[in-house]
Structure 1
């Protein structure tokens, strides 16, 4: 029975099913929600219009204000903290060869890029005062970019994980 627990809950990140479950859930949630608005609200606004479009515009306006209020008040601190944490995780993972930190970096770094793109979208929505079809097109375009980043992230993490698993000194013991 002990072998079962070692197999299911292992400390080797890339060989653990839990890492890939977390990876899939994080990217699914990330691509489904943009600036706090779920994709089905955009789909309904595009298909039905009327009240759904008004609700979408209201939700987006509220979430853009909230996002920019937090970011603009704390941008230096948030950017410095993110840079420090990413650099620390990168060094621990790739310089000191700690596989758990490699796995964390391969999950968090693309999410940081997506977060920066979301702040940029919020600034663009505020500055250009988008409504209706332009708002929906901007949302859909941003979602597609997030999906592309997520797909590349999953591909690269899987490639790196397989290479780490196959070429690690402990691979012969599997």
Structure 2
């Protein structure tokens, strides 16, 4: 056996039967629901529960910095990014579902829902800035955004699990 065979035996390229893919999927959605607009969720909880004003000010400042950053990127290079992302997503989708590449299917099922989260984050950043949300209203908007992220994540994990089981059953039938 040569080096190439050893590596691909160790790293199973059939993504849906690989434990590391499922760990990456879980960590991705756990991180996405914890870091809402780049702000850790525990800061929102601390800001809401604290009797002093300092945690709320820190939370508001961090949200302001991150929403400004998100909106700056969207305004300055949004059109270019939209074109590049559309090209990449279309390419991966074609490789995945037209040509039947399982690795591309895994990447698509991981990345496409994150693209929806990114678009939702830009929309939420616009709402926060346009309405100049602060205090409890800001925490509620972040909480609603987090709920939407979690719903997308649950749907994504469900669809990925169903597709992965289908692929694994087909692989066992074909072999």
TM range (shorter): over 0.9
Counterpart among 134, 146, 163 of residue 160 in structure 1: 163
* Aligned 1:109-128 pairs, distance under 5 A: 109-128=112-131
Report the TM-score when normalising by structure 2: 0.92
Show structure 2 runs of 5+ residues with no match. 1-5
User: How far, CA to CA, are the matches of 2:94 and 2:65 in structure 1?
Assistant: 38
Q: Which residue of 2 aligns with 1:33?
A: 35
Q: Which residue of 1 aligns with 2:153?
A: 150
Cα distance change on mapping 1:8 and 1:48 into 2, 3 Å = farther
Aligned residues: 171
Cα distance change on mapping 1:93 and 1:59 into 2, 3 Å = same
User: How far, CA to CA, are the matches of 1:167 and 1:60 in structure 2?
Assistant: 46
TM superposition shift of 1:167 = 1.6
Counterpart among 18, 24, 38 of residue 16 in structure 1: 18
Q: CA RMSD in A?
A: 1.9
* Aligned 1:28-107 pairs, distance under 5 A: 28-49=30-51, 50-107=53-110
Deviation above 6 Å: which 4+ runs of structure 1? 4-7
User: How far, CA to CA, are the matches of 1:6 and 1:171 in structure 2?
Assistant: 22
Q: Is contact 1:8–1:17 with CA below 8 Å preserved after alignment?
A: no
Q: Which residue of 2 aligns with 1:141?
A: 144
User: How far, CA to CA, are the matches of 1:19 and 1:38 in structure 2?
Assistant: 24
User: How far, CA to CA, are the matches of 2:173 and 2:10 in structure 1?
Assistant: 17
Q: Is contact 1:9–1:18 with CA below 8 Å preserved after alignment?
A: no
